[in-house]
Amino acid sequence: MSTPETVLSVSSLDVHLGESHVLQGVSFEVRSGGVTALLGRNGVGKTTTLRGLLGLVPRKGEILLEGRDISRLHTHEVVRLGVGYVPENRDVFAGLTVQENLRLAERPGGPHHYDLVYELFPRLRERLRQRAGTMSGGEQQMLALARALLNDNRLLLIDEPSQGLAPHLVTQLADALARVASLVTVVLVEQNLNLVRRLARDAVVLDQGRVVWTGDVGGLLNDDERTRDYLGVGVAR
Amino acid sequence: MSTFILLTITGLGLAALYFLVASGLSLIYGLMDVLNFAHGAFLTMGGYAAWLIGDATGSFTLGVLAALVICTLLAALMETTLLRRLYGSHVPQVLLTVGLLLAITALIRSIYGSDAHPLTTPAWMNETTEILGAPIPNNRFLLILVAVAVYLAMSAFLARTRYGLIIRAGVENRAMVTALGIDVRRAFTLVFAIGGALAALAGALTGAINNAVSPEQGINLLIYAFIVVIIGGLGSFRGSALAAILVGLLQQYANFYGLVGAGDLIVVLMLAAILLIRPQGLLGRVAT
Amino acid sequence: MTDQMTRPRTVTTARILGGPRPWVRPVTLALLLLVAALPFLDVQLPLLFDGPLSSPGVLHLLSLMCVMAAIAVTYDLLFGFTGLLSFGHGLYVAIGMYTTAVVLTTTGLGLGGALGYVVLAGVAVPLLLGAVVLRVGGIAFTMATLAFAQAGAIFVVRDPFRVTGGELGLALPYEQLPELLVGVVNARYRYWLALALLVLTVVVVRWALASRPGRVWRAIRDNETRVTVLGLRSYAFKLMAFTLSSFLATLAGLVYALIVGGAHAEVTNSTFTLGLLVMVVLGGSGRLWGAVIGGLVYTYLSHRLGDLGSTVSGPLSEPMFVLGVLFVVLIIFLPGGIVSLIRRTEPRGEA
């Protein structure tokens, strides 16, 4: 059931990849505003969940975006309804310049928030003519985020943005994400629990293709035993 | 010396033909992961359309233009009605294009017979111009000019237009393009149509050079075009141009200065070498 | 290319030779006996054939059908079972044909000598070529096979050493052949030879598929990364499949030459190999009987439709048109081929 405060409502999301049954009936809800963290050990299906929401993999189940069923739509149709995606590998177009990457991301009709993008990531403005493939990991991450921010979105799906980034960059990333979260609802897949603790309000934990815990982030991360059970790590405070 | 000039220019003429066919094939493969054998059908159809309409109207130019238009439309139609049903299944798509190639070639053969038909071209095309003592048939100049024009036009299209941007990005990462909210299928149809147009042009010009069109002309040229595509790098437009020049020139030189058929064999050897040393081709990205 | 074109396959381990039902074996044997007895049947099948089944003309067509079906089976081993999309399979048939023809015309070794050379070539060439082309996968592999086949075609047609007869082909000198295989009256012996080839090919391929390498081939087709993860060198297994398949095709080339009385350049065309592809897909790839049926039907149609050319005019008289259209329709609506129509209700197994 989705209320005006629920941006996303997922019921029994089922995904098969080749012979493995990666998602076995995933169900959760995403509240409007703020960040919902999607957590779990490696390989439990977090990235697949995001891809399933977008239709990048064939899926079954019910997915309601602000009450509207998007489970049968093509990826580009889902995205046009206002869903931004920042994938795990950034997936910027290496052969295109920064400017071209951004231009490609412009959705027809809507306003394009270049001012916001340049404010958050001034470095991008300096490198507009540079080919994206020659940029550092951190800069590519900025570009990937910027692409998603250009348009008006109801929901942002962000997959492990801190992966491979040096600590000082992670701090910068955290600031940017905090700002982003204040503007749009975010579903964040992250391994970095400090980041999660700082940014997220709600948490959904996956294990072996199923949801095993939902609740607020504090309830999860403040409980060492629970954290260890579900996430396999201790939390540094 | 004059022989060398002649060989070089005819070699470049051959390169021009290869480029026209290979560039379309390369983009189609790069964007859609489809080995488009139906390209050979467009080569043949282009030649025959140019012949039929050229004879009917008395104008070679009109014939070529008509061939272009007809094949572009047919290519778009083919993609939307047939190929699209198999979106995502790569082997069936290839097989489909093979079936279309065989069927269309056979259709043409059944209507017009297996023998070559003479194609009337404007007189000036068969005349020669002397360059440094070498008599060069004028049609080669036309071929080279057309290829250069196409190269410039396509480069501009790819670099400056939105669809060009979509195609370049899609060749790199098709899924991410859809994740940006873009319907790649339109780009598919566009690329397929462009490919069809270029193939038709190549087919019409092949007919002009040989002064005849035959049902088999498509398949013969197609094999060399595929080799050029691989050598240049699948998905690389510039790669096709570079490889076309290399292959065209080498083939001409080897055929003349070497044994009979040496040029054709050299092309095959070049392919083998590329596959072993640098499988992604000269300018391509790392392939599967 | 390990991309799959039909629905996902379950890799079963046993149950290959036995077949899914107990009546299959005796029925197959009965059919085989019936087919072998055809030259004795003075039966007329109007429309299907021009003349009684025992007539040389019909037997000749049946022989061709058997040879092509055998070649289709060898191709399916490569494509349908190991997932290697080769566009150069015709090269091996050509090697078989031309080696036979050249040995018979230039040496006095007779059919035995020809067989010896054919066997040698049929093992050596695919081992060498396969070792090179299998270093790459996917499209590159396909194009490499195409290129080498094209090289073979160039060699045959341009004929630099003046042995292949160029575009006109090379006829077999009848005085070098055993009397039993020469002449219109002996059509039945050539038919039995072709039939024997088909049976032999099917038995050998079936046996190979049931063996351990056979299971690895299927695994390579379905998921090559998993095979390497399991510690198996897929390259070696692919080379095995490639060599076996090509060797059998070369043998078929020898028989083909005997049936048609010589070697002809058409087998070196890419259209020939593409035809093999059509045969296999028509019948149903990855299913032995599919390849057999596809080969039989395709060859029958391509000859019969040509014959009917006088009565049916226009595009329908051109066999490749009918087959091409049929192929296109099949790919879109029935990717499993003819066999999938029959097997719709059976549990999905292998071969």
Taking only the tens place, the pLDDT of each residue in A42-73 is 888 899 999 999 999 999 999 999 989 999 99
| Cβ-Cβ contacts under 8 Å, C223 against chain A | 18-19
Contact A104 B173 (CB under 8 A): no
- The 3-state secondary structure of chain B, one letter per residue: CHHHHHHHHHHHHHHHHHHHHHHHHHHHHHHHCCCCCHHHHHHHHHHHHHHHHHHHHCCHHHHHHHHHHHHHHHHHHHHHHCHHHHCCCHHHHHHHHHHHHHHHHHHHHHHHCCCCEECCCCHHHHCEEEECCEEEEHHHHHHHHHHHHHHHHHHHHHHHCHHHHHHHHHHHCHHHHHCCCCCHHHHHHHHHHHHHHHHHHHHHHHHHHHCEECCCHHHHHHHHHHHHHHHHCCCCHHHHHHHHHHHHHHHHHHHHHCCCCHHHHHHHHHHHHHHHHCCCCCCCCCCC
Say if strands A155-159 and B117-118 run parallel, antiparallel, or are unpaired: unpaired
Residues of chain C with Cβ-Cβ distance to B279 below 8 Å are: 136, 140
* Residue A181 structure tokens: 């979260």
- Higher per-residue pLDDT: C339 or B195: B195
Whole-structure pTM value: 0.82
Instruction: Copy the structure tokens of residue B248.
Output: 């065209």
DSSP letters spanning C278-343? HHHHHH-TT-HHHHHHHHHHHHHHHHHHHHGGGTS-GGGGSHHHHHHHHHHHHHHH-TTHHHHHHG
What is the average pLDDT score of chain B?
A: 87
According to the model, what pLDDT value does residue A161 have? 92
Asked if C337 contacts C278 with a C-beta cutoff of 8 angstroms, the reply is no
Residue B23 to residues A94, B15, B18, C12, C306, Cα–Cα distance (Å): 21, 11, 8, 44, 37
Structure tokens at B229: 């595509």
Which chain C residues are Cβ-neighbours of A19 within 8 angstroms?
8, 223
C226 sits in which H/E element: helix C224-229
Confidence (pLDDT) at C350: 37
Beta bridge partners of A38: A189, A204
- Read off the tokens for A150: 């250009």
Q: What is the pLDDT of residue B223?
A: 85
Instruction: Indicate if the pLDDT at residue C136 is higher than 90.
Output: no
Q: In the predicted model, is pLDDT for residue C174 greater than 50?
A: yes
Burial class for C29, CB neighbours closer than 10 Å (0-12, 13-18, 19+): exposed
What is the share, in percent, of chain B residues with pLDDT greater than 70? 98
- Strand (E) positions, chain A? 6-17, 20-31, 35-39, 60-65, 68-69, 83-86, 155-159, 185-189, 200-207, 210-216
Residues B271, C281, C94, CA angle at the centre, nearest 5°? 50
DSSP C52: B
Is A155:A187 a contact under the CB 8 Å cutoff? yes
Of C143, C150, C315, the CB nearest to B107: C315
The bridge status of strand A35-39 relative to strand A200-207 is: parallel
Higher pLDDT, C162 or C73: C73
Answer yes or no: is pLDDT of C153 > 70. Answer: yes
**What does the pLDDT average to over C188-210?**
91
CA distances from B244 to A83, B23, B208, B225, C115 (A): 43, 9, 20, 8, 42
Q: Over the range B187-205, which residues count as b (16 or more CB within 10 Å of their CB) and which as e?
A: bbbbbbbbbbbbbbbbbbb
Query: Integer distance in angstroms from the first to the last C-alpha of chain A?
Result: 36
Q: What is the pLDDT of residue A5?
A: 83
Q: How confident is the model at residue C17 (pLDDT cuts 50, 70, 90)?
A: very low
Would the CB atoms of B178 and A79 count as touching at under 8 Å? yes
Q: Is the pLDDT at A3 greater than 60, yes or no?
A: no
Nearest CA in chain B to A151: B180
Is the distance from CB of B183 to CB of A74 less than 8 angstroms? yes
* The residue to which tokens 């065309």 are assigned: C269
Contact A188, A36 (CB under 8 A): yes
Which stretch of A96-110, B174-188, C29-43 has the lowest confidence by average pLDDT? Answer: C29-43
Predicted local distance difference test score (pLDDT) of residue C313: 63
Q: Which amino acid is at A66?
A: E
Tell me the pLDDT band of B288, cut-offs 50, 70 and 90.
Answer: very low
**Residue among B165, B172, B181 whose CB faces A79 most closely:** B181
Contacts C137 to B, Cβ<8 Å: 288
- CB within 8 Å of chain C, chain A residues 111-170: none
The alpha carbon of residue C134 is apart from the nearest alpha carbon of chain A, in Å, by: 25
Minimal C-alpha gap between C9 and chain A (Å): 10
Give C345→chain B minimum CA distance, Å.
Answer: 23
Chain B CB contacts of C158 below 8 Å? 260-261, 264
Q: Which helix (H) or strand (E) holds C171?
A: strand C170-171
Please report residues of C whose CB lies closer than 8 A to that of B226.
Answer: 143, 146
The better pLDDT of the pair C3, C262 is held by C262
**Does an H or E element contain A199, and which?**
helix A193-199
**What is the pLDDT, as a whole number, of residue A187?**
95
| pLDDT at site A159 | 94
Enumerate neighbours of B (3 or more CB pairs within 8 A): A, C
Instruction: For residue A36, list its beta bridge partners.
Output: A187, A202
More confident residue, A81 or B60: A81
Pairing of strands B212-213, B134-137: unpaired
pLDDT tens per residue across span C258-306: 999 888 888 888 888 888 988 888 888 888 888 999 999 989 888 887 7
Helix (H) or strand (E) holding C263: strand C262-263
Judged against a pLDDT cut of 70, whether residue A233 lies above it is answered with no
pLDDT of residue C345: 43
Is pLDDT of C121 > 90? Answer: yes
Report yes or no: C171 at the B interface, CB cutoff 8 Å: no
